Amino acid sequence: MAMSHVITGAGEGPAHLAVRTVSFADLKAALAKGVDDFSAMPSHALFLCIIYPIAGLVLGRLAIGYDVLPLLFPLMAGFALVGPFAAIGLYEMSRRREQGLDISWRHVFDVRHRPTFAAIVTLGVLLMAIFLVWIAVAQAIYIATFGYLPAASIPDFFQRVLTTPEGWTLIVVGNAVGFLFAVLVLSISVVSFPLLIDRDVGAAGAIVTSWRVVLANPVTMAAWGFIVAVLLVLGSIPLLFGLAVVMPVLGHATWHLYRRAVEPNLGAPPELQPEPPGRRYAAEFPASLFARSRDDVA
């Protein structure tokens, strides 16, 4: 696929996408529909989102061979930075349910057949790069505040952070910098991934449209970011396993927020035809999740 198509797409330019004014009632309605989608498709959501607590624990164990205790909070906060990309399968399932299409779990992977898949991956790589920069900056802030000496224990770490001037500085500076990263990611991704699933606008077009939505609704989008942050904090307790519920609800809700924030494309092309199901063989698992069955390639 040509790089120009990945960046600019083959459909409408971002200037031709009409963005709407979004109210607090729209946020409430989007969350309600997100809960409704999760209730109707819980197996899909759990199948996707159980990886988040596992990934978080693995990252916490392997992060740069350093005592990871100071990085646990930045790692958990970082889910908000990569979450929009991680939830692409949830947007697809909400789209299918909205259109009355089959919502069996295997369609989670249908995103890979869309002409915008390369643009989706490109934008996902961008978010992952921002996440890694955030982790590096968070570590640098900790080292600048406390030096390279790791905490002797968990109680010692919390005592240093919560009861010393250096710890208060770390809290204030770390949260201020994290807030800037969160605003950046919210601005470029609040509707980007659902838009790329829905229309062939390219990565640049999706980012520009997301910026336009935020600029047109600064207070409402700030409220949405706050809601996401609070729910992710709650979902991180205990040990991130609550994300298995929070992430699917937010993912489905984001699709419905996109529908309310961007005018629909009345001239959209026909729905992509799904692959014929064929038969799957146990010996082919997990490859059968991604490749065609033997009957399909005969």
> What is the three-class DSSP state of 135?
helix
- The candidate with the shortest Cα–Cα distance to 221, out of 16, 73, 30, 38, is 30
Q: What's the CA gap between 253 and 35, in Å, rounded?
A: 8
Query: Is the pLDDT at 44 greater than 70, yes or no?
Result: no
Domain locations in the chain as residue ranges:
20-264+277-289
pLDDT for residue 292: 44
**Is the CB of residue 70 less than 8 Å from the CB of residue 157?**
yes
- Residue that the structure tokens 């200037």 belong to: 15
Can you tell me whether residue 19 is helix, strand or coil? strand
Percent of all residues in the chain with a pLDDT value above 70, rounded to a whole number: 73
pLDDT band at 8 (very low <50, low <70, confident <90, very high): low
Pairwise CA distance, residues 32 & 99, whole Å? 18
- List Cα–Cα distances, 181 to 1, 50, 77, 129, in angstroms: 31, 25, 10, 12
Confidence of residue 122 (pLDDT cuts 50, 70, 90): very high
Q: Are the C-beta atoms of residues 49 and 247 closer than 8 Å to each other?
A: yes
- In the predicted structure, residue 63 carries a pLDDT above the cut 60: no
Confidence of residue 61 (pLDDT cuts 50, 70, 90): low
Q: Which residue in this structure is represented by tokens 């607590």?
A: 53
3-class secondary structure, 258: helix
Q: CB 255: neighbour CB atoms within 10 A?
A: 26
Q: What are phi and psi of 19, to 5 degrees?
A: -100, 150
Average model confidence (pLDDT) across the chain: 79
- Has residue 259 got a pLDDT over 70? yes
pLDDT band at 141 (very low <50, low <70, confident <90, very high): very high
**Average pLDDT over every residue of 195-221:** 93
How buried is residue 140: exposed, middle or buried, by Cβ count under 10 Å (0-12/13-18/19+)? exposed
pLDDT score, position 56? 57
Distance, in Å, from the CA atom of 264 to the CA atom of 14, rounded to the nearest integer, reads 13
Helix (H, G, I), strand (E, B) or coil at 240: coil
Which among 201, 177, 189, 44 is positioned nearest to 124, based on CA atoms?
Answer: 189
Residue-level pLDDT at 291: 43
User: Does 161 have pLDDT greater than 50?
Assistant: yes
The answer, yes or no, to whether the previous bond of 238 is cis (omega within 30 of 0) is yes
